[in-house]
Amino acid sequence: MTRLLLIRHAESEWNAQGRWQGQADPGLSELGRRQARTGASKLAGSIERIVTSDLQRAATTADIIGEVLGLGPVERVPAFREIDVGEWSGLTSPEIEERWPGAIDRWRRGEGAAHGGEDRDGFRERILAAVASLAGPGKGPLLVVTHGGAIGVIERYLDVHPGLPMPKLAGRWFSYDGVLRADGDRIELVDVER
């Protein structure tokens, strides 16, 4: 059985501006860099390896955590990228609502994709396959630094989603032995606003 802690990256520049990111690649804010350093201390002794999405906000978070904990190299896995939100990328929620009235609410209810974005079923299958690819004897416990949507899609698949967005530097432990399971509640590595 492989144990994996999936966490959301620290604050990015676009998080700070309230912009939808999807697969866009903004870097971490200075606050995000501090969050990653602070959160790393809570992981000491609990992980042996770090894997990350290749998008800057996740990869830099993972690199900082790896540096603090003396773990590396950090493995970049593009399959752990956030869902592609198409034309919504870079826009704020009010800008999306102005262009596509009601679309965000429909999307959040699982009714279709973001305008020009990735299909949710395909996204779920991509993330589940990425998790399965990490499993095997001697391959854990490991940290996967990814995105809120990636963790949320697994929580929904396992019917453990609490109905709240994933805070920055928060996540959940999972185990995989051919079957994926959630191991406990969400955890938060730093105290940040949602």
Residues taking part in catalysis: 9, 82
**Measuring CA to CA, which residue among 56, 95, 101, 92 is closest to residue 74?**
56
Q: Can you list the alpha helix ranges (DSSP code H) found in the chain?
A: 13-17, 30-40, 56-69, 93-99, 103-108, 120-134, 148-157
| Cα 101 to Cα 103: distance, rounded to the nearest angstrom | 6
What is the dihedral angle through the alpha carbons of 123, 126, 128, 129, rounded to the nearest 10 degrees? 170
Residue 109: helix, strand or coil by DSSP? coil
**Measuring CA to CA, which residue among 58, 49, 62 is closest to residue 81?**
58
Q: Contact, 6 vs 182, CB < 8 A?
A: no
